[in-house]
Structure 1
Amino acid sequence: MADMLMLKIIALDRILYEGKITQATMTTTAGDITILPNHMAIAAVLKDAPFILIDAKGEKHVVAIHGGYITMIENAFLVVADDAIFAEEIDEARVREDIRRNKEIIKDKKGSSLDITRAQIQLQRNIMNLKISDTFRK
Structure 2
Amino acid sequence: MLNLRIMAPNRIVWNSDIQEIILSTNSGQIGILPNHASVLTALDIGIVKIRLNDQWSTMALMGGFAMIDNNNLTILVNDAEKASEIDYQEAQETFQKAKTNLEEAEGNKKKEIEALLVFKRAKARLEAINMASKL
Of 62-71 and 30-39, more deviation after overlay is shown by 30-39
Q: Which digits, 9 at most, give the CA deviation of each residue in 1:64-108, with x for residues without a partner?
A: 112101001111110111121111111122223333444565666
Displacement over 6 Å in runs of 4+: 113-116
Counterparts of 1:16-35 in structure 2 under 5 Å?
A: 16-35=13-32
Q: Which runs of 5+ in 1 are unaligned?
A: none
Counterparts of 1:1-138 in structure 2 under 5 Å?
A: 4-55=1-52, 57-102=53-98, 118-137=114-133
TM-score (norm 2): 0.81
Q: Which runs of 5+ in 2 are unaligned?
A: none
Q: Which digits, 9 at most, give the CA deviation of each residue in 1:17-58, with x for residues without a partner?
A: 100011111121232211111111110011222211112x22
2:64–2:77 CA contact under 8 A, matched in 1: yes
Aligned length: 132
SS for the counterpart of 2:19 is strand
CA distance in 2, matches of 1:50, 1:99: 15
Shift of 1:135: 2.5
Root mean square deviation, CA, Å: 2.4
Does the C-alpha gap of structure 1 residues 10 and 35 become closer, same or farther in structure 2, counting only changes over 3 Å?
Answer: same
Larger CA Rg, structure 1 vs 2: 1
TM-score (norm 1): 0.79
Does the C-alpha gap of structure 1 residues 106 and 11 become closer, same or farther in structure 2, counting only changes over 3 Å?
Answer: same
Of 121-130 and 43-52, more deviation after overlay is shown by 121-130
Q: What is the aligned-residue identity percentage?
A: 24
